[in-house]
Structure 1
Amino acid sequence: MAKLLYSASMSLDGFIAGPGGDMSWLAEHVGPNPAVDELVPRIGALLVGRRTFGGDDPYKGRPEEGQAFGGAWSGPQFVLTHHAPEIQVPDVTFVGDLDTAVAAAKAAAGERYVNVLGADIARQCLEAGILDEIFVSFAPVLLGDGVRLFDHPGGSTVQLERLSLTSAPDATNIWLRVLGR
């Protein structure tokens, strides 16, 4: 059965996007990363938050714009939203509730990962107790403000287990298993 994996690139001070969801900061840090290259073929479906789906793209203005993992991955995407667009998007299903979105994404992923993209949807999955793993690629930059990897003031402590720690030319990666609260 598919596992839910939240993956993100993050600044050293804990932000996955700059103010207003700005992703331009990431463009200069996207480069060779063997851990990401190994992860991508293990992804069977994406579970994406609406803001992430319609938000800024680190590949803006480049041929890879609008493509998951810069075009290295393609497949079914499930976008959690209460306001689906009227125009259909190929390989994208808009879903109105978390349980339905997760079930559909897991069915589509088969034995591979459902990759969660977006801080708010990752937080919802964590709170629901359904997030299995977290992969973070730390970029050598301090953003100072923006969207945090996880933001839940007053939230409870979540225990994690390190599965791996690797480095790439412009990143340090940590892969964690969610043990629970």
Structure 2
Amino acid sequence: MTTATGARRLREASAAKYRPEVVELLLIAEAPPSSLDRYFYFEEVPEQDSLFRHVVRAVLAIEPSRAEKESELRSLADRGVFLIDLKPEPKEPGDNLEFYVPDLVARAAALTPRQIITIKANVCDLTQPALRAAGLDVVDQRVPFPGSGQQLRFLEAMGTALDSIGWRR
């Protein structure tokens, strides 16, 4: 088994542990980090866990704690929140992310989410039309990735998106 295959299996197993029975809110991000020790669903991420930490702030309205990540992941699952990536593998230079849209739409449809929020401008632009064409309910809001100084904009945009679907925080 290659390192990439092993890493993908570990990510899949970690996400499956927190997949809700009913997906109320599906979050779609771009791709998992290239670093093998970081991923949204890994319970122990000592640093650079920006997406997870800001999702917890926005969706659960609590301040995340690295020591409580497992509990916070369970709280997200209990609320019906699940996150998947447009590209299941880390992004590589020159990747054409449009190639992954049909597979993403199939994966999203299989989860039968009540609502979808896309994260990062290119993910919004690439996926929202195709997700809507598949009959999925996508929030019409551009939510930036919470990195590179975009953390406050992420929280504001995510708050607007959540308010638009009546999400109780």
Quickly name the TM-score band, shorter chain normalised. Answer: 0.3 to 0.5
TM-score between the two structures when normalised by the length of structure 1? 0.35
Give the number of the structure with larger relative contact order, counting CA–CA contacts within 8 Å between residues 6 or more apart. Answer: 1
Identify, as 1 or 2, the structure richer in helix.
2
TM-score between the two structures when normalised by the length of structure 2? 0.36
Identify, as 1 or 2, the structure richer in strand.
1
